Chains A and B, each alone.
Chain A
Amino acid sequence: MGTVVALRMTEAAEEDGVSEALLVRQAKNGDVASFETLYRRHEGRVYALCLRMTRAPDRAEDCLQEAFVKAWRSLPSFEGRSAFGTWLHRIAVNQVLSLQRSESRKAGFLELVEERLEPSDNQPAQRDAGVEMDLEQAIGSLPPGARNVFVLFAVHGYSHDETADMLGVAVGTCKAQLHRARRLLAERLDR
């Protein structure tokens, strides 16, 4: 009985394909095929971001789609001053934030309730990653402000400045939320 390992060759494609700068240039010229390649290269990271911030695959998929459609529309204004991936993440984060804002408008008190519950619609089960599973669940259970900061800073590696900028908050607020996230996570993981 052998184990089955799927090798996705998209990584190989990234390695020896066309450089990103040229793809972006072509996409800016209106070439949808180039934009699709950029999509394939970035969908995983953008989705991971959306998924952890929204905690629901449905919502994450919506945010991912919206983000890329918006990115296509905003391409003319992308100057290349930041990395394309970072620019994409910014757009995705904005999507998530507006989704969170509209949800909180609808169900303000539900959020308080959710803080106390464990979310059940998180990542697919990984039987052999006990700690990871707990950590993912714990992150999912954080209140949105703290969760957003934690996902961007601790999981995706953005700096304090970048995280604050993407979320549209002051750096001080960002640090405070991060502190809160750590404290809550420590509490919930130690249980």
Chain B
Amino acid sequence: MQAARRLPDNISPRRDLWPAIAARIAADERQMERQDRWRPFGMVAAALALVAVSSLVTIWVTDDPAPRVVHQISPGGMAVPARSAPLAAGFGAGVTLGPRYERARQELTQDLEGRLEELPEPSRALVERNLQQIRAALSEINAELSKDPNNVLLQQLLLAAYQDELAVLMNVNKMVQTLPLRTEI
């Protein structure tokens, strides 16, 4: 019976069931207008964005000793190519980012491209400069990782930097969507 205790008590379903659940909850909500709700995207949206981002990243690590770059993925270019060079998303030699992550990253980068126009110029430039800093950090870590692919600290920091980038993309995106710049008649 000890064998039973050792059986995994945590099994992933074959597919992501959340969308179906979310759809039913949304249908519910439309039916019962909750008066007391704090909308629109919840108080802890920022923290959750970070937690949710973690689950988007699946890292495939090969312990192939011959260092090589397995997969080069470039995100959608920024609106003003002169200011920011496209970045090959990698995790150092032999490591790639999962497809869900890449998709989120590309979509957000493209969304942001369009939205940045709506920010006042100094802020727009600032966002681009800061994203450049994150991407420079990503390059630096990737470069170090290609020399030392099994370095756990580098892998963790690289992951963190990707999460930071995604979080900035998400946060600035959301911010611009909700700015009080336009007016309704």
Direct contact between the two chains A and B in their complex (CB within 8 A): yes
Q: Which residues of A contact B (CB under 8 A)?
A: 1-10, 12-13, 17-18, 22-23, 26, 29-37, 39-40, 43-45, 47-49, 51, 57, 60-61, 64-65, 68-69, 72-73, 123, 131-132, 135-136, 139, 150, 154-157, 182
Name the residue of chain A whose CB is nearest to the CB of B52. A37
CB contacts (< 8 Å) of B57 on chain A: these are: 9
A131 to B2, CA, bound (A): 12
**A72 in contact with B28 (CB, 8 Å):** yes
**A47 in contact with B18 (CB, 8 Å):** no
Q: Which residues of B (25-46) have their CB < 8 Å from a CB of A? A: 25-26, 28-29, 34, 36-39, 41-45
**B9 in contact with A48 (CB, 8 Å):** yes
CB contacts (< 8 Å) of A7 on chain B: these are: 58-59, 61
**B43 in contact with A31 (CB, 8 Å):** yes
**B58 in contact with A40 (CB, 8 Å):** no
A160 to chain B: closest CB distance in Å? 14
**A36 in contact with B22 (CB, 8 Å):** yes
Counted as pairs of residues, one from A and one from B, with CB atoms less than 8 Å apart, the total is: 152
B10 within 8 A of A: yes
Given A6-B60, A32-B22, the answer on whether A23 and B44 have CB atoms closer than 8 Å is: yes
Name the residue of chain B whose CB is nearest to the CB of A40. B55
Name the residue of chain A whose CB is nearest to the CB of B66. A2
**B51 in contact with A132 (CB, 8 Å):** no
Interface centre among A13, A40, A155, by most chain B C-beta atoms within 10 angstroms, is A13
CB contacts (< 8 Å) of B15 on chain A: these are: 61
**B63 in contact with A45 (CB, 8 Å):** no
**B55 in contact with A33 (CB, 8 Å):** no
**A69 in contact with B24 (CB, 8 Å):** yes
CB contacts (< 8 Å) of A61 on chain B: these are: 13-15, 17
Name the residue of chain B whose CB is nearest to the CB of A124. B14
B159 within 8 A of A: yes
**B7 in contact with A136 (CB, 8 Å):** yes
CB contacts (< 8 Å) of A131 on chain B: these are: 3
A155 to B4, CA, bound (A): 5
Given A4-B60, A6-B59, the answer on whether A17 and B51 have CB atoms closer than 8 Å is: yes
Q: Which of A9, A18, A68, A72 contacts B159 (CB 8 A)?
A: A9
Q: Give 5 pairs: A residue, B residue, CB < 8 Å, sorted on A.
A: A9-B59, A45-B10, A65-B20, A72-B28, A135-B7
A44 to chain B: closest CB distance in Å? 4
A133 to B160, CA, bound (A): 38
Q: Which of B8, B21, B47 contacts A18 (CB 8 A)?
A: B47
**A37 in contact with B25 (CB, 8 Å):** no
B78 within 8 A of A: no
CB contacts (< 8 Å) of B121 on chain A: these are: none
CB contacts (< 8 Å) of A1 on chain B: these are: 64
Q: Which of A13, A30, A32, A155 contacts B9 (CB 8 A)?
A: A155
B5 within 8 A of A: yes
CB contacts (< 8 Å) of A37 on chain B: these are: 48, 51-52
B152 to chain A: closest CB distance in Å? 11
Name the residue of chain B whose CB is nearest to the CB of A11. B54
CB contacts (< 8 Å) of A64 on chain B: these are: 13, 17
A57 to chain B: closest CB distance in Å? 6
Name the residue of chain A whose CB is nearest to the CB of B37. A30
Name the residue of chain A whose CB is nearest to the CB of B14. A57
**B36 in contact with A4 (CB, 8 Å):** no
**B17 in contact with A43 (CB, 8 Å):** yes
A139 to chain B: closest CB distance in Å? 8
